[in-house]
Amino acid sequence: ATPWSDAHRVAPWRALPEPPYAEPGLGGDHDCVNCTTAVPGITDLAARGPAARYVWDLDDRENSRWIVPFGADGVPGSPHHRDQLPLWLRGDLARVVTDWTRLTLEHTDITEEAHA
C-alpha cells in the first residue's frame, strides 16, 4: 500500500513567489494534530491548516510551547522561513522564549530548544 504522505502533502497558498520546493507529506488529515484540509475528489494537496499552536503553562511560562507550520519568518530565503517545519510535521512544539536577554540574534536555533 502507498503511504498516506506520498499523496497527501501540505501546499499552502503563497502570496509571494519563492523558489520551488518539495511539499512535505502529511501524516493525517483534518482530524489530527496538524489539522490540514484538502478538497477530496479534487486534490490531495492541503492548502488550509492551522496558523499556529500554543500550549501555555500558566504556572511556569518557561514550560510553554508553540509551533507554526513553516517558520517564524514569512520571507523566502530567511533562515527562519521554514525552521519550524520539521517540528510541525512531527507534531512537536518549540519552546516559547520569554526571557528578553535571550531574544537576540545569537539565540536563533529553535530545534535545540524544542526538546529542552
**Dihedral of the alpha carbons of 50, 72, 81, 25, in degrees to the nearest 10:** -30
Task: Decide: 58 and 78 in contact? Cβ < 8 Å.
Answer: no
Tell me, what's the pLDDT at 107?
A: 54
Q: What is the mean pLDDT of the chain?
A: 81
Q: Is the pLDDT of residue 19 over 70?
A: yes
Domains of the chain, residue spans: 1-14+22-49, 51-116
The residue with greater pLDDT, 105 or 96, is 96
Residues 56-91: tens digit of each pLDDT: 999 998 899 999 888 888 788 888 888 998 998 888
pLDDT of amino acid 115: 46
Strand pairing category for 9-10 and 65-67 = unpaired
pTM of the model: 0.70
